[in-house]
Amino acid sequence: MKIKRQSVIEQYLAKHHKQCLTTNRPVPNDLEMVVVIPCFNEPEVLTTLNSLLDCHPVDCGIEIIVLINSYTFVDETIKGFNKKTYQKCLDFALNQNRPGFEIIPLLIEDLPGHQTGAGLPRKIGMDEATFRFNRIASENGIIICLDADCTVERNYLSEIHKQFRGNDLNSATIEFHHPVGHLPENDPIRRASEAYESYLRYYRAALEYCGFPYAYYTIGSAIAVTCETYARVGGMCKLQAGEDFYFMQKVFPLEKTKFIDSTKVYPAARFSDRVPFGTGPELAKLSKSDSIIKYTYNFGAFQILKQLFDQIDSFFKSPPEDISFIINDLPQPVRDFIIRDNLICKLEEINRNTGNISSFRKRFFSYFNAFKILKYLNYAHETFFQMENATISQHSLDYQLG
């Protein structure tokens, strides 16, 4: 008797998905999209759900999984508020669910950990979506991450569906904007939001300028992956902050990623201390300064890094002495960093294990990844560069790139 080979999704679920929260809920055969929304002590989640409800119709089944969650240390007041939110979501779903569009509220209490964060609840929700897609043997089901303080454009669902199906994508990042135009120009939240958004846009554009192939945003409320991709990289990280960044660094090397700028997510601009870093804490930190300046890495450091990335093809199957000659001719900040990092030995190893320039480049950027770039930038700014005003840097870069 021939034994059926498990799919990547089945292997993942067998290893990671310990509890199925929607086992008794039928999965529609036309299900193609699941939106996962972590929700902790969130008063505006119905605004988010209404925004999704107002989206243009899509010719497929859609489910919205709302993870109303709390951790073990959370006080009873917040747990009580979560229970009321859960009931509101149940009532909303009862009134608004229709064939092809269903909202599934889930109440999850006493998660392990000492600090609130979206990592674990986001993982639980994405695991649940993967489980549901697996029940109808759908490897290309789309899992969309959103937050409970967001609204979206009306073409949000239809555009994501069109882009995934039309481009055979593994993943996507989605355009975003913090809606602060209604606030006075001197409002601290508006100024902090604009400064932080300038920082995010400058940094991504600078990476793209360098030639880094994975120059994408990694914002948890604006990413989407297929369920097979999700399983292939081992699922979402459980981190209390930055889980979106670490997760997408595993996803990008699988390629077939697209930045979808034909629709938009609108994350709320607000202060928060729920997690140690991220948008909320950053806005709170910026607002405490009279100048409200978000500093970022000097563009000169990126210009030098570009010189290294421009030489990648010349490293392919080159002897160590030729590689050393090229490296010694690079500007000092990047030259010193890669010598300290023993890049030549790493290039020898990569060359031994690659047979063409395409695989060489992929292995190189698996080594010189987003984490390595951050290490280089921090090293370069210890001695050679000074941090810059992110808003000014963004305008300067936009001007240089036309």
For residues 21 and 48, membership in a common domain is answered with: yes
Rounded to a whole number, what is the largest CA-CA distance in the chain? Answer: 73
| pLDDT for 140 | 95
- Regarding pTM above 0.75, the answer is yes
If one counts the domains in the chain, the total is: 2
Domain final residue pick, 247, 281, 296: 296
For residues 181 and 243, membership in a common domain is answered with: yes
φ and ψ at 42, to 5 degrees?
A: -110, 115
For residues 154 and 49, membership in a common domain is answered with: yes
For residues 322 and 286, membership in a common domain is answered with: no
The H or E element that residue 223 is part of is: strand 223-226
| pLDDT for 396 | 66
Does the pLDDT value for residue 1 go beyond 60?
A: no
The H or E element that residue 266 is part of is: strand 257-267
Evaluate whether 225 touches 143 at the Cβ level (below 8 Å): yes
CATH classification of the domain holding 172:
3.90.550.10
| pLDDT for 116 | 63
Average pLDDT over residues 319-342: 94
Evaluate whether 53 touches 94 at the Cβ level (below 8 Å): no
φ and ψ at 265, to 5 degrees?
A: -105, 140
- Who's near 336: CB < 8 A, 6+ residues apart? 379
Owning domain of residue 369? 299-386
For residues 286 and 313, membership in a common domain is answered with: no
For residues 200 and 91, membership in a common domain is answered with: yes
pLDDT in tens, 86-136: 999 999 999 999 999 999 999 999 888 766 678 889 999 999 999 999 999
pLDDT band at 5 (very low <50, low <70, confident <90, very high): low
pLDDT in tens, 247-257: 999 999 999 99
